[in-house]
Amino acid sequence: MQWTDRIRQVKIVLVVAAVFICAASLIWSHFLISDLSVEERAKMEVWSEAMRSLGNADDEADLSLVLKVINSNNTIPVIVLNDDGSIQTYRNLQLKGKSPAEQDEEVKRSAARMKQSGRAIRISLDDNAFMEVCYDESVMLKRLASYPYIQLGIVAVFAVVAIFALLSSKRAEQNKVWVGLSKETAHQLGTPISSLMAWTEVLREAYPNDELLPELDKDVRRLQMIAERFSKIGSLPEPKPENLNEVIGRVVEYIDRRTSNRVTIITRLPEQPLYVSLSAPLFEWVVENLCKNAVDAMDGQGSITITAQEETTRFVVEVTDTGKGIPKSRFSSVFQPGFTTKKRGWGLGLSLAKRIVEEYHRGKIFVKASEIGKGTTFRIELKKK
């Protein structure tokens, strides 16, 4: 559990660092754009003074410098209005209208938008006349304003792809470990199981009426089934129609004989058979793990209720105990490899159960409800084929 907490802390630190970098980038871009906006307004004030000089000039005035200033603006959209609101001239506008009337209307709407955003400079002329220079942000400034968001979007896409690749690689590595460990376990169990089977036959011939031999034979068969379960991990399952009631019944019979009398197992199963396409040995393993965890959570005293029912699109199995309960913050982490609250244990039972249900049976397993000191309900959902 400490290791999972450490991983969570690292994730939180990385997320906080990413948010800080994004915020710093946006703030820096905002200040840069603000400085450029001030510089563009200064340029437009100079351009407006040039328009004033041009409007007040007489026939003998040298306008070469004024015209040079006016013609130097090739990036900032600008509209010059007379004092009656009519259009005098405009530059650097991309108009969509085709006819002159449509273009004039479009220019007037653009001028109104520029004035509303505060980008307008009034030029006083002789005889109480005036002009208004309305301008917009240059194409370069607009591109610069959107660049941080595009950059962050590209970085986010790259990060998502990288994280997905890392998670896929990690999952593939975990799968190899799971499969290798399971196959090796099944292989290692094979030899002693074969030997026990042989010794059971020898004892049966020597003591045919011994009452302990049937129980010994059941335990040997149980070991065979466990080895079979391990051997199926990593292989394509061969699901076939099984009566869910019988599958649960076998698990209950096994658990009931190996727990104390202080643990009561209650089954609530429908009277009619529930035929579900599944791998019986693997699914029994899932329910068995949930029951064993329930016994541990109750410290060997309490009740376990197993229900099964058929819904419109799925079959549902629920295992409820009267144990310690699970905090809501731990609902998802209980299925992570290595998570355990016991002093002894690998923390692989629920992780393996999740793998069997989701990958081999295309279903879902999750904590439906839990309350500290009252108990927990695990829910398994299997789709109908």
Q: Are strands 375-383 and 364-371 parallel, antiparallel or unpaired?
A: antiparallel
Q: Which pLDDT does position 215 carry in this prediction?
A: 80
Instruction: Give the end-to-end CA distance of the chain in Å, rounded to a whole number.
Output: 38
Higher per-residue pLDDT: 344 or 132: 132
Res. 346 pLDDT band, cuts 50 70 90: very low
pLDDT at position 308: 94
Name all domains of the chain by residue range, CATH numbers in brackets.
2-137 (no CATH), 237-383 (3.30.565.10)
Q: Please, which residues bridge with residue 318 across strands? A: 307, 379
Query: Is residue 267 scored above 60 in pLDDT?
Result: yes
Q: What is the mean pLDDT of residues 186-206?
A: 77
Residue 352 to residue 346: CA distance in whole angstroms: 11
HSE (side-chain half, CA atoms, 13 Å) at 380:
30
Q: Is the pLDDT of residue 343 over 70?
A: no
pLDDT band at residue 175 under the 50/70/90 scheme:
low
pLDDT grade for 178, boundaries at 50, 70 and 90: low
Q: Is residue 262 within 8 Å of 300, Cβ to Cβ?
A: yes
Which of the pair, 273 or 195, is modelled with greater confidence? 273
- The predicted pLDDT at position 244 comes to 93
User: Mean per-residue pLDDT for 175-191?
Assistant: 69
The pair of structure tokens assigned to 86 is 């009519």
Distance of CA 13 to the CA centre of its chain: 18
Name the residue among 368, 350, 241 with its Cα closest to residue 305.
368
* Enclosing H/E stretch for 326: none
Q: Where are the beta strands (DSSP E) in the chain?
A: 78-82, 87-91, 120-124, 130-135, 240-243, 263-268, 275-278, 302-310, 314-321, 364-371, 375-383
Task: Report residue 236's pLDDT band, with 50, 70 and 90 as the boundaries.
Answer: low
The answer to whether the pTM exceeds 0.85 is no
